[in-house]
């Protein structure tokens, strides 16, 4: 599934690399551009896979349509279809847990606690909430794993609910279609079925295979780790977060591996912490949520992007079809309310390409009067990811820039010259 996609996208080919730091050097050098490494200790590795272009291509749509497409698929999550096809199991080799030390799992940065799985889709099941799929960083020790579970997230909640009855079955799937990665990065309600959402995104049923040592059905990724999350804890971290800075060491749950499965010639997916792919997977699923939040206030909102320069988390650019003079300001307020981590937001007219930072700057340069078009909100709750914030009190300043053309002005003066089409 992933091999077909890799063959169809633009990529840089690298003959070989070692798994300690070397993969990071290559992924950083080509950040945002897909890299295929032919040989990492005998395994193939793909990196920087999910950028906007590749995700759109894998869904057979245009980049500008991504947000609306996700919104529609989210609304259709319940109609997503999951079917079990155990014939696919023939493609796999079953291996002992200790084989994991030979897998091409990278050590990314200097102070990292060890090799980390960063692209693993973690699947668990709960009798009330059904399947949950999400992505978490996982530290690989020689014969066990340590998983970072952010408090209050679905995995953490379901683990806590079930661990009193004993170890919790878990599968970690590495090397899957971008739709599954995107779905697993999306946080809906507890009973939102991420795998059904992936099916809705792909517009076809999602095939699953039954695990052999645990009670779970999972997408047929390149590598499948079957295991149990235990009540035992071990040190997790240091490890690099989305802003490229270190997160601290915490006690986190240990996963006991019960079996490894891999395809005969598997492709491992290395996802660079702090790289564009990490940011895209964090930010992209938020765009339809922000859009929805604004649409309630301003039905003429057109598109939303969380920009890469803003870590796909702290900065948004939003295009609107302006109908009354205050629309830009209302869009600012609605955007800040619908994504609490948002720090700076720019509102533009529909003729501005929100994916092009130069075009957005052009709008700021030619359509903004600083004394009228900028809103500053002091001491709002901000993101813990922003090192410039007041962390002691969890406060930050929020800024909104209304870079739409003033309706009091003569619109003609703002229209950019066009060239007639051939
Ligand atoms: Mn969930």
pLDDT category of residue 248 using cuts at 50, 70 and 90: confident
Q: Which residues are catalytic?
A: 241
Q: Give the global pTM.
A: 0.93
Ligand 1 centroid to Cα of residue 154, in Å, is: 5
Tell me the pLDDT tens digit for each residue of 95-106: 999 999 999 999
Nearest to 346 by CA among 374, 327, 370: 374
- When pLDDT is averaged across residues 174-200 and rounded to a whole number, the result is 96
Nearest to 30 by CA among 20, 42, 45: 45
Structural contact between residues 336 and 304, judged by C-beta atoms closer than 8 angstroms: no
| pLDDT value, residue 2 | 87
Tell me the pLDDT tens digit for each residue of 297-344: 999 999 999 999 999 999 999 999 999 999 999 999 999 999 999 999
Residues 6+ apart with CB under 8 A from 73: 197, 200, 201
- When pLDDT is averaged across residues 49-60 and rounded to a whole number, the result is 96
Ligand 1 centroid to Cα of residue 124, in Å, is: 10
pLDDT category of residue 142 using cuts at 50, 70 and 90: confident
Number of H-type helices and E-type strands within the chain: 12, 23
Ligand 1 centroid to Cα of residue 409, in Å, is: 47
Ligand 1 centroid to Cα of residue 273, in Å, is: 22
d(CA 69, CA 178): 14
| pLDDT value, residue 186 | 95
d(CA 181, CA 187): 12
Task: Using the predicted structure, report yes or no on whether residue 238 has a pLDDT greater than 90.
Answer: yes
pLDDT, the chain, mean? 95
| pLDDT value, residue 387 | 80
Tell me the pLDDT tens digit for each residue of 271-291: 999 999 999 999 999 999 999
Cα distances (angstroms) measured from residue 12 to each of 1, 46, 184, 189, 280? 20, 10, 26, 38, 19
Ligand 1 centroid to Cα of residue 192, in Å, is: 6
| pLDDT value, residue 182 | 97
How many Cβ atoms from other residues are within 10 Å of residue 95's Cβ? Answer: 15
| DSSP E strand stretches across 1-142 | 12-16, 35-40, 43-47, 82-84, 92-95, 116-117, 121-126, 130-135, 138-140
CA torsion sign, 313 to 317 to 321 to 322? positive
Tell me the pLDDT tens digit for each residue of 380-399: 988 877 888 887 878 999 99
Ligand 1 centroid to Cα of residue 194, in Å, is: 6
pLDDT category of residue 158 using cuts at 50, 70 and 90: very high
| pLDDT value, residue 39 | 98
pLDDT category of residue 176 using cuts at 50, 70 and 90: very high
Task: Using the predicted structure, report yes or no on whether residue 296 has a pLDDT greater than 90.
Answer: yes
Ligand 1 centroid to Cα of residue 173, in Å, is: 16
Q: How many angstroms separate the first and last alpha carbons of the chain?
A: 40
Ligand 1 centroid to Cα of residue 16, in Å, is: 37
| pLDDT value, residue 213 | 97
Structural contact between residues 251 and 233, judged by C-beta atoms closer than 8 angstroms: yes
Please give the domain boundaries of the chain with CATH numbers for all domains. Answer: 65-264 (2.30.110.10), 285-410 (3.40.1670.10)
Ligand 1 centroid to Cα of residue 204, in Å, is: 21
Ligand 1 centroid to Cα of residue 187, in Å, is: 6
d(CA 366, CA 375): 18
d(CA 175, CA 193): 20
Structural contact between residues 153 and 160, judged by C-beta atoms closer than 8 angstroms: no
Which range among 102-116, 156-170, 408-422 shows the weakest confidence by mean pLDDT?
408-422
DSSP 343-397: -EEEEEETTS-TT-HHHHHHHHHHH--HHHHEEEEEEEE--TT-TTSBTTTTEEE
CA dihedral 318, 388, 245, 338 (to 10 degrees): -30
Residues 6+ apart with CB under 8 A from 392: none
């Amino acid at each position: 599934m992933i091999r077909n996609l890799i063959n169809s996208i633009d990529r840089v080919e690298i003959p070989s690399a070692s798994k300690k730091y070397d993969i990071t050097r290559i992924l950083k050098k080509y950040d945002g551009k897909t890299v295929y490494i032919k040989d990492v200790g005998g395994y193939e590795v793909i990196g920087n896979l999910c950028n906007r272009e590749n995700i759109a291509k894998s869904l057979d749509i245009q980049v500008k349509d991504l947000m609306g497409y996700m919104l529609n698929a989210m609304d259709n999550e319940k109609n997503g279809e999951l079917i079990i096809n155990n014939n696919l199991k023939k493609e796999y080799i079953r291996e002992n847990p200790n084989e994991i030390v030979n897998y091409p799992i990278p050590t990314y940065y200097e102070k990292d606690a060890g090799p980390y799985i960063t692209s693993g889709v973690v699947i668990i099941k709960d009798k009330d909430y059904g399947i949950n799929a999400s992505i978490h960083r996982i530290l690989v020790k020689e014969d066990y794993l340590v998983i970072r579970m952010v408090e209050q997230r679905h995995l953490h909640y379901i683990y806590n609910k079930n661990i009193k009855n004993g170890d919790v079955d878990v599968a970690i799937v590495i090397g899957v279609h971008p739709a599954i990665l995107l779905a697993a990065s999306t946080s809906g309600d507890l009973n939102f079925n991420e795998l059904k959402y992936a099916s809705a995104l792909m517009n076809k049923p999602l095939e699953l295979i039954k695990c052999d040592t645990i009670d779970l059905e999972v997408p047929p990724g390149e590598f499948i780790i079957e295991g149990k999350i235990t009540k035992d804890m071990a040190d997790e971290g240091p490890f690099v977060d989305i802003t490229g800075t270190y997160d601290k060491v915490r006690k986190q749950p240990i996963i006991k591996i019960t079996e490894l499965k891999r395809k005969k010639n598997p492709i491992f997916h290395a996802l660079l912490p702090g790289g564009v792919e990490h940011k895209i997977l964090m930010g992209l699923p938020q765009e339809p949520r922000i859009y929805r939040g604004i649409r309630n206030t301003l039905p003429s909102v057109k598109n939303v992007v969380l920009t890469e320069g803003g870590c796909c988390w702290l900065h948004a650019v939003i295009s609107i079809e302006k109908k009354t003079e205050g629309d830009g300001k209302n869009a600012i307020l609605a955007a800040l309310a619908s994504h609490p981590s948002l720090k700076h937001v720019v509102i533009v007219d529909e003729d501005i390409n929100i994916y092009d930072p130069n075009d957005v700057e052009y709008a700021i340069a030619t359509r903004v009067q600083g004394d009228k078009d900028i809103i500053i909100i002091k001491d709002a709750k901000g993101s813990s990811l922003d090192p410039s914030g007041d962390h002691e009190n969890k406060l930050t300043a929020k800024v909104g820039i209304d870079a739409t053309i003033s309706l009091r002005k003569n619109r003609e003066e703002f229209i950019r010259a066009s060239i007639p089409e051939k």
